[in-house]
Copies of this chain bind each other. A is one copy, B any other.
């Protein structure tokens, strides 16, 4: 395919006319599709319906600690859930605490606690003039909204194919004591699907932060969410790396089963050093009498153990893989060589990240919406919703049916082409 940039004004205008006709045709199909979030499909949700069949007998409701899961008690979660989610994120049960249904709210609470009570004895952040977080970009909008809500200044750090640019991270973290944290999705990152390299993880573990209360917010949301059995990314276990590097307390690991069992009805967890866990427990002991242990037990009974959970994730992969490939194939066929966009080909997670020509992302998302395809708002993958290049768009292929997704991708591609041509015509 000839790069669009090399086409003449007349060629572009002829193309535009043809594409506009096509766009009106797909628009007429009246699609109304919300692709804005990484939501599992109905078929994926059905995979875990067996969970509803668990726990019917009153004599099977005690956990391994001998406590009736229907009653108060066990602040840290039931032992078998700590083992299962520990295995999910490669730590021993003693290093993990089970929470409620949302890892996002655990991250929120962690920032909130640092604001009001500091971190392991440090000055509460609300007493400081300035608190800053590093934000690898593009990244997860919900992370950025938490730090924005608390008035924390966010600093963009560019992503590379091996993770955040560690030269920049090391430089900033070692020099500025106002930098208290960094948001990371280290495996199959949101939105690019990048997994941090072993070298990146080791460099994280060896950071020498100027702030004693600096913490890495390691949101391992997609730790077992592979798309391929034979091509999986591998992520070094950071708690161990931090310990080896003499920084045992520098990281909080967050996980959940939101995209394993049911979004909003899964279980979340934090893995951390004994010192950090002790502080978290002190806070929890005031905040709640305990989380939903029935749901913890339901998860353990349904999956049986980590082997069962991995088998379950293969069923998710079988449903997700064709969708990712459909989007990638259409992009390849329709755009490759046109030099109007690049995209990632992740081996896991929930997103494909698309980068348009500079200054086109907002217009593309608006154009697709015209034909009934709601995508994640352009800019959302950057702090404050500001993408300095206006180029990044997050594609979430999981929720639609394959047919809907094919049509949505067509609409997306037409939108990319039309907006890009307009941009090129402006420049000519």
> For residue A68, which residues in chain B have a CB less than 8 angstroms away from its CB?
42, 45
| Cβ distance A277 to chain B, nearest Cβ, rounded Å | 18
Q: How far is the CA of A116 from the CA of B70 in the complex (A)?
A: 34
A145 at the binding interface (Cβ < 8 Å): yes
Q: Are B70 and A265 in contact (CB under 8 A)?
A: yes
Q: Are B72 and A264 in contact (CB under 8 A)?
A: yes
Within 8 A of B (CB), among A41-69: 42, 45-46, 48-49, 52-56, 58, 68-69
Q: How far is the CA of A288 from the CA of B258 in the complex (A)?
A: 12
Question: What is the interface residue range for chain A against chain B?
Answer: 35 or more
| Cβ distance A300 to chain B, nearest Cβ, rounded Å | 15
Contact of A146 among B46, B53, B286 (CB under 8 A): B286
19 CB-based A-B contacts, threshold 8 Å: A42-B68, A45-B68, A48-B70, A69-B265, A70-B264, A71-B263, A73-B264, A100-B100, A102-B290, A102-B291, A104-B289, A105-B287, A108-B287, A116-B116, A116-B150, A142-B289, A265-B294, A292-B295, A295-B295
Instruction: Return the chain B residue nearest A72 by Cβ.
Output: B263
A126 at the binding interface (Cβ < 8 Å): yes
| Per-position binary interface string of chain A over residues 275-287, scored 1 when its CB falls under 8 Å from any chain B CB and 0 otherwise | 0000000010011
A367 at the binding interface (Cβ < 8 Å): no
A39 at the binding interface (Cβ < 8 Å): yes
> For residue A45, which residues in chain B have a CB less than 8 angstroms away from its CB?
68, 70-71
Task: Give the 5 A-B residue pairs with the shortest CB-CB distance, closest first.
Answer: A265-B294, A126-B126, A105-B288, A45-B70, A108-B287
A40 at the binding interface (Cβ < 8 Å): yes
> For residue A48, which residues in chain B have a CB less than 8 angstroms away from its CB?
70
Q: Are B71 and A40 in contact (CB under 8 A)?
A: yes
| Per-position binary interface string of chain A over residues 145-159, scored 1 when its CB falls under 8 Å from any chain B CB and 0 otherwise | 110011000000000
A376 at the binding interface (Cβ < 8 Å): no
Q: Are B294 and A262 in contact (CB under 8 A)?
A: yes
Within 8 A of B (CB), among A113-128: 115-116, 124, 126-127
A195 at the binding interface (Cβ < 8 Å): no
Within 8 A of B (CB), among A311-365: none
Q: Are B288 and A102 in contact (CB under 8 A)?
A: yes
Q: How far is the CA of A39 from the CA of B67 in the complex (A)?
A: 13
Q: Are A264 and B115 in contact (CB under 8 A)?
A: no
Q: Are A145 and B286 in contact (CB under 8 A)?
A: yes
| Per-position binary interface string of chain A over residues 383-410, scored 1 when its CB falls under 8 Å from any chain B CB and 0 otherwise | 0000000000000000000000000000
A112 at the binding interface (Cβ < 8 Å): yes
Instruction: Return the chain B residue nearest A124 by Cβ.
Output: B126
| Per-position binary interface string of chain A over residues 139-179, scored 1 when its CB falls under 8 Å from any chain B CB and 0 otherwise | 00010011001100000000000000000000000000000
A208 at the binding interface (Cβ < 8 Å): no
> For residue A42, which residues in chain B have a CB less than 8 angstroms away from its CB?
68
| Cβ distance A340 to chain B, nearest Cβ, rounded Å | 32
Instruction: Return the chain B residue nearest A266 by Cβ.
Output: B292
A37 at the binding interface (Cβ < 8 Å): yes
> For residue A288, which residues in chain B have a CB less than 8 angstroms away from its CB?
102, 104-105, 108
> For residue A49, which residues in chain B have a CB less than 8 angstroms away from its CB?
56, 58
Further contacts, 13 of them, CB under 8 A, given A73-B264, A145-B286, A146-B286? A37-B72, A52-B55, A71-B263, A72-B263, A100-B101, A104-B287, A108-B287, A115-B115, A116-B150, A142-B289, A149-B286, A265-B294, A292-B295
